[in-house]
Amino acid sequence: MRTPWGVALSLAVLLWVHESHAAPEAQRSAPPPSPLPPGVSAVLWKLSVPESAAPTPEKVALGEKLYNEKRLSLDDSVSCATCHDPAKGFTDHLPVSAGVKGQFGMRNSPTVLNALFNASQFWDGRAATLEDQAKLPILNPVEMAMPSPEAVVAKLKGIPEYVTAFQQVFKRDITYDDLAAAIAAFERTQFSGSARFDRFIHGETKALNESERRGWALFNGKARCNSCHAGNAVSPLFSDQKFHNIGVSAHKQDFPQLAREGLKIVRLGDEKQIDELALQTRFSELGRFLVTKQENDVGAFKTPTLRNVGITGPYMHDGTLATLWDVMDHYNKGGVANPFLDGGMQRLGLTEPEIDDLVAFLFTLTDERFTKLNGQELAKQRSRKNKRPERDTAVAMGKKGNLGDLAPNPDLAVKNPADIGAYGTETLPKPASTKQP
């Protein structure tokens, strides 16, 4: 398919910005694998994967073995795959994850799929790279609980197969940095961009049914989802990579008091303490504030990817929303009011059929290799459709409360927000919901 002019311009601007802010001797990029799926940008791959971190077959094979290695935990019971199971969309389908000795943390496990493109890692962005992210769970007391990097290395040195493997891959003895590099190399192979939506956006109109097309129109229009979850050529994740307080946990905490307490005990730059506070204490709800110490980050968490969202529930940083209907109910009422609520949160006024259409669309973002699991999860969520603890129709429709005016509801016969082609140019038939290519 020929690259639309708008895409070429966007990529050129992005590359110019990237190069103009790069260090004088910027690292060379690793060449992208070929072929890439249609929903993954080669340009973003090059920006995300430096040549020094190229996922070579040997490094990936070692990383996959380590990813599944339970002996990296204190009691040999937990591996990376325990919380990020490939068979479950690289999540665990639990509200919050279980570690050694049956301990539970405070955060939901995000998917590893497309994590290589993240601007930062974890819900609060406390790790800058996949390598940094790989190190922390092994040492966290409620996850894998190893006492130190040295203890991890010593344990692996007692396993002959790893002594040999590290020598073959890295040409030296085992180090903690090399362990993280191997796991990160495996994770860099877990990209995803072959969903039904990708076939649709590249011109296969019949890839989505009528309800799903209406959901795509709402996504870009009345529901305002694309404010934070827009998808385009250089951002295939449907995430703005920013941090927002949307009020998920505001009812649990006195945020101003919690922030005052948190500022007193958080030591600037102590990565280990921040990691433990995020998973072990009530200060977990402070989110991005733990990292930045900025008041406007209190209760803010990273916008998650919507890729594969149908199979990566339950949702939000604490896993408190069981279904995508619950997620839509939360947004429909404008979140939960608190002093730090993001200014973009407002009631949406979505009707029940519109919510159904949005949920239907969101399930089209799942990679087709997970088609069976996607159908199972849709059926499971639909069975809970009448259990809606987050629904507040009166607030959503403006019959009580004061959460602002509704977003525009365009006349789809005049301009359908879903009539957008490959990331920014109008190439699909008009309207996408009625005409064939």
Active-site annotation, residues: 143
DSSP one-letter string for 119-168 = SSBSTT--BSSHHHHHHHHHH-TTTT--S-HHHHHHHHHTSHHHHHHHHH
DSSP bridge pairs for 321: 315
In this structure, the dihedral spanned by the alpha carbons of residues 224, 239, 353 and 327, taken in order and rounded to 10 degrees, is -110
284: nearest Cα among 403, 106, 87: 106
Whether 66 and 131 have beta carbons less than 8 Å apart is answered as no
Cα 211 off chain centre by: 25
Whether 241 and 302 have beta carbons less than 8 Å apart is answered as yes
DSSP bridge pairs for 244: 301
Other C-beta atoms closer than 10 Å to the C-beta of 55 total 21
Q: What angle, 0 to 180 degrees and rounded to 10, lies between the N-to-C axes of helices 130-139 and 271-280? A: 60
State residue 347 phi and psi, 5-degree precision. Answer: -65, 150
